[in-house]
């Protein structure tokens, strides 16, 4: 119950921010706003201030701002008279640039929100991997990577990146990301002897050492064991330390994935230590949509709480926002291209559940999830689908280019198509939600 409550509150904040964007730009450009509603359906609470009625309605999955004169020559659906051509407070009588600004304000406000709340999350304090404060000793080198090609080996200790001394993984990653050439000079200590390596990188690209195949040590201890997956069904638990997979010794977490994938879809035997006792488990890996075989586990990751000073928090929050935008854009492109299964689409049930769980974890987790969801909501609404804000922006763009609006009949057909498409996507999202819930 608490999860659902906090989930609805979180979703309500995002809807409020979105509609507030429309509302503020409409008011600032002189458009009369008749209603500002959070939610749809039967009214739970309402009041009127000035010319605007404010509502909170029963169904929390949406909201709207109703403006005077949204359709030319038609009444608003309230007690307002039909819109006259000289009515300068009617939305439809405003210039196309003004109308585009009002419509775009909702999703753009969602995209701007993370730039405000993520710095707050970093000031409150976020959990970061403990290894970032550990000495930068190489634990694993990815085969066929840039690091492997330059001869790096497990046990190498990073001393310098170019001319910068590094004492922790965090310092090493930061120094590597700050290099500007197409190669970075790494100074290592190997068996007490200094070794210098020129590490290739793409000019102008910002990334950490993992991108070239250098990873810290990660013991093969289980963190999450996902419900319903082969590992959980076989009896593996959080805290188990994997010793062998199909008879192959496992010394590092990075050995786990290749060993499972090599076995393919056949039955495998996994031995693990639990409280000093060696146990054996049988399971069959499952193939995911990327062609990899998995058993549903993740490593145990020790974390520490890190609080940032205001200036550092603004920088970290901005970087994180840009990263989330890039990831969301990549996801949408791959989804449209058919490279990601539609099973990954989540609906309101999943959103409320995840938001509620984040809210109960802590303030920083709530703000991070709120930012992530706000970016998704902003991108989704900018898609050029009739009914969504992006579809209306497309209509206005056509009007701007051809100096006249799209014929009303064509708009009606497009809106009906967009509504069918949106309802289909919502149906798929709800189906996925309930499938996850009941499984």
> Of the listed 19, 80, 171, 399, which one is catalytic?
19
Range 342-362 burial, b when 16+ CB lie within 10 A, else e: eeebbbbbbbbbbbbbbbeeb
Q: What are phi and psi of 153, to 5 degrees?
A: -135, 150
The verdict on whether 19 is a catalytic residue reads: yes
Residue located via tokens 């993740």:
298
Residue located via tokens 């304000």:
105
Q: Which long-range contacts (CB under 8 A, 24 or more apart) does 335-340 make?
A: 340/289
Distance CA 91, CA 72 (A): 9
Helix axes 96-124, 310-336, angle to 10 degrees: 120
What Cα–Cα distance (Å) separates residue 267 from each residue in 68, 355, 362? 66, 37, 40
273 burial level (CB within 10 Å; 0-12, 13-18, 19+):
middle
What Cα–Cα distance (Å) separates residue 423 from each residue in 348, 349, 351, 401, 429? 13, 16, 17, 30, 10
Catalytic sites, residue numbers = 19
């Amino acid at each position: 119950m608490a999860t659902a409550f906090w989930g609805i509150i979180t979703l309500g904040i995002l809807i409020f921010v979105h509609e507030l964007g429309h509302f503020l730009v409409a008011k600032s450009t002189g458009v009369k706003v008749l209603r500002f509603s959070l939610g749809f359906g039967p009214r739970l609470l309402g009041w009127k201030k000035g010319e605007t009625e404010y509502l909170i309605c029963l169904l929390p999955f949406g909201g709207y701002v109703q403006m005077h004169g949204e359709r030319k020559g038609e009444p608003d659906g309230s007690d307002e008279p039909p819109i006259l051509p000289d009515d300068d407070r009617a939305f439809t009588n405003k210039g196309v640039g003004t109308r585009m600004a009002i419509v775009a304000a909702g999703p753009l406000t969602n995209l701007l929100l993370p730039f405000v709340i993520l710095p707050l999350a970093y000031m409150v304090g976020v959990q970061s991997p403990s290894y970032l404060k550990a000495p930068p000793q190489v634990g694993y080198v990815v085969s066929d990577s840039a690091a492997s090609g330059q001869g790096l080996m497990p046990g190498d200790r990073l001393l310098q990146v170019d001319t910068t001394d590094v004492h922790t993984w965090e310092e090493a990653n930061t120094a590597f990301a700050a290099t500007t050439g197409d190669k970075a000079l790494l100074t290592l200590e190997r068996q007490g002897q200094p070794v210098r390596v020129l590490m290739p990188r793409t000019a102008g690209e910002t990334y950490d050492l993992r991108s070239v195949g250098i990873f810290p040590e990660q013991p093969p201890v289980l963190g999450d064991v996902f419900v319903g997956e082969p590992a959980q069904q076989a009896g593996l638990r959080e805290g188990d330390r994997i010793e062998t997979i199909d008879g192959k010794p496992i010394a590092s977490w990075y050995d786990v994935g290749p060993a499972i994938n090599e076995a393919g879809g056949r039955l495998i035997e996994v031995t693990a230590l639990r409280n000093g006792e060696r146990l054996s488990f049988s399971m069959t890996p499952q193939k995911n949509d990327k062609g990899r075989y998995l058993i549903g586990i993740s490593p145990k990751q020790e974390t520490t709480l890190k609080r940032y000073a205001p200036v550092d928090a603004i920088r970290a929050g901005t970087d994180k926002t840009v990263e989330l935008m890039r990831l969301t854009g990549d996801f949408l492109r791959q989804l449209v291209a058919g490279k990601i299964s539609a099973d990954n689409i989540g609906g309101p049930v999943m959103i409320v559940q995840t938001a509620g769980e984040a809210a109960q974890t802590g303030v920083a987790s709530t703000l991070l999830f709120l930012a992530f969801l706000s970016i998704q909501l902003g991108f989704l609404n900018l898609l050029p689908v009739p009914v969504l804000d992006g579809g209306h922006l497309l209509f206005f763009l056509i009007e701007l280019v051809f100096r006249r609006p799209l014929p009303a009949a064509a708009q009606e057909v497009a809106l009906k198509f967009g509504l069918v498409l949106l309802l289909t996507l919502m149906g798929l999202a709800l189906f996925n939600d309930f499938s996850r819930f009941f499984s």
